[in-house]
């Protein structure tokens, strides 16, 4: 449900109005989260400005960093005639409303907007987190500085004028610094606990499929656990290519951790796709990493980063298919479930490679399009996935073409498409 102006405090309304002004000044076609952050970088934001002033000597210095992040953003030929929120901004506002409800607040205030920015995880959140500004430190500061006690700090506040800073977070280990080669940093960046949990879920699910009394539960655990692991590999591939291409912000954001929670919004990226799987659908793109494309070394690396995700998913499928290539499988529930998981991954790869924004296929070709064409097509990013699934469900030739291609690739991996389809059917309700 969309909120009205009265659902926001006066400070939040002023900050959003400032964000619209910033977007118009930059000739942006849509209001993005980075514009919202610019709108919060003003004494008008009240509590948030006090927090910024407490955490750094000159909060307005962030404007230069944000301007750099927006330097490669598309521009409209004319200024914004009305507020057009991008998909990412709508998510920020939704997250802010959720934060307000969780805190039993009747209105969305500027701290809720800032938490929404941090939860969204894009470039604005990266800029803040790289400076130790995150939701945990904000909540701690708010707890110790009730609104009535907050003094609004003027611009360029000195440390004496600003509210006292909270305890600083421990400095990151030197192995994760931007100047450390990836081969040395990666072992410290990967969350081995998350990897172990994923492996335990998949192996445990596989074991349950071998026991007749646990087969039904085992199929769900094995296929869904394997699919989440595959999504993590997909997003890890994007992040790995981005770091190699020059965007080291993926380190601080946890995108090289292989932890699925770092790539996801729990409801949109895990719960809804899993429900869709259980209803007999195709695996939806389940996660997201936000890349600072301005930091990449040219259009070639932008294409490589987009291609790295589908490549990682395809690699997972090939590795899982090795037993079939060696004729080690038998006609049991375990092997049917594994074949179904491979088919699910292959379908996901093909969908992701469609040249439709915001899918990876469009990301591969986007750097080579003219700015005018690229900016025009980006307007459809918020409905691109919806259009794909409408086409697949209601346009039979498209659906047939997709599954014919999936069957051909599955057969090339020495797996019977009918056997794989039977494995997928074990996952749906009402079987």
Please give the positions annotated as active site: 235
By CB atoms closer than 10 A (0-12, 13-18, 19+), residue 330 is exposed
Computed on alpha carbons and rounded to an integer, the radius of gyration of the chain in Å comes to 24
3-state secondary structure the chain: CCCCHHHECHHHHHHHHHHHHHHHHCCCCCECHHHHHHHHCCHHHCHHHHHHHHHCCCHHHHHHHHHHHCCCCCCCCCCCCCCCECHHHHHHHHHHHHHHHHCCCCCECHHHHHHHHHHHCCHHHHHHHCCCCCHHHHHHHHHHCCHHHCCCCCCCCCCCCCCCCCCCCCCCCHHHCCCCCHHHHHHHHCCHHHHHHHHHHHHHHHHHHCCCCCHHHHHHHHHHHHHHHHHHHHHHHHHHHHHHHCCCHHHHCCCCCCCHHHCCCHHHHHHHHHHHHHCCCCCCCCCCCCCCHHHCCCHHHHHHHHHHHHHHHHHHHHHHCHHHHCCCCCCCHHHHHHHHHHHHHHHHHHHHCCCCCCCHHHHHHHHHCCHHHHHHHHCCHHHHHHHHHHHHHHCHHHHHHHHHHHHHHHHHCCCCHHHHHHHHHCCCCCC
By CB atoms closer than 10 A (0-12, 13-18, 19+), residue 169 is exposed
Helix axes 192-209, 333-352, angle to 10 degrees: 130
Distance CA 265, CA 126 (A): 16
- The answer to whether 381 touches 357, Cβ cutoff 8 Å, is yes
The encoded tokens of residue 164 equal 């006292």
Residue 416 phi/psi, 5-degree rounding, is -70, 120
By CB atoms closer than 10 A (0-12, 13-18, 19+), residue 326 is exposed
């Amino acid at each position: 449900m969309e909120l009205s102006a009265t659902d926001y405090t006066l400070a939040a309304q002023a900050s959003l109005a400032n964000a619209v002004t910033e977007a118009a000044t930059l000739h942006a076609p849509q209001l993005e989260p980075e514009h919202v952050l610019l709108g919060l970088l003003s004494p008008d934001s009240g509590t948030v400005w006090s927090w910024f002033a407490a955490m750094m000597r000159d909060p307005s210095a962030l404007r230069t960093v944000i301007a750099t992040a927006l330097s490669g953003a598309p521009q409209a030929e004319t200024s914004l005639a009305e507020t057009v929120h991008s998909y990412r901004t709508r998510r920020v506002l939704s997250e802010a409303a959720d934060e307000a409800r969780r805190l039993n607040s009747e209105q969305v205030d500027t701290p809720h907007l800032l938490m929404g920015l941090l939860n969204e995880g894009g470039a604005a959140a990266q800029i803040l987190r790289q400076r130790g500004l995150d939701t945990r430190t904000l909540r701690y500061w708010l707890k110790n500085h009730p609104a009535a006690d907050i003094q609004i700090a003027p611009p360029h506040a000195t440390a004496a004028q600003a509210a006292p800073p909270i305890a600083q977070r421990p400095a990151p280990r030197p192995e994760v610094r931007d100047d450390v080669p990836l081969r040395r940093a990666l072992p410290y960046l990967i969350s081995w606990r998350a990897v172990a949990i994923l492996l335990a879920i998949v192996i445990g699910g596989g074991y349950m499929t071998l026991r007749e009394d646990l087969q039904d539960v085992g199929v769900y655990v094995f296929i869904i656990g394997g699919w989440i692991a595959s999504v993590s590999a997909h997003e890890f591939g994007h992040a790995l290519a981005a770091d190699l291409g020059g965007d080291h912000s993926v380190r601080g954001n946890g995108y090289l951790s292989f932890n699925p929670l770092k790539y996801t919004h729990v409801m949109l990226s895990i719960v809804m796709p899993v429900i869709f799987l259980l209803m007999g659908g195709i695996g939806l793109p389940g996660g997201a990493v936000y890349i600072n494309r301005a930091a990449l070394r040219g259009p070639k690396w932008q294409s490589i980063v987009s291609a790295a995700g589908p490549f990682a998913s395809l690699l997972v499928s090939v590795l899982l298919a090795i037993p079939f290539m060696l004729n080690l499988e038998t006609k049991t529930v375990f092997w049917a479930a594994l074949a179904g998981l491979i088919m699910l991954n292959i379908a996901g790869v093909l969908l992701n490679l469609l040249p439709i924004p915001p899918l990876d296929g469009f990301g591969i070709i986007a750097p080579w399009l003219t700015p005018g064409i690229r900016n025009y097509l980006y307007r459809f990013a918020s409905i691109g996935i919806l259009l794909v699934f409408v086409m697949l469900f209601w346009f039979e030739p498209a659906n047939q073409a997709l599954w014919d291609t999936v069957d051909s690739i599955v057969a090339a991996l020495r797996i019977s498409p009918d056997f794989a389809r039977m494995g997928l059917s074990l996952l749906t309700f009402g079987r």
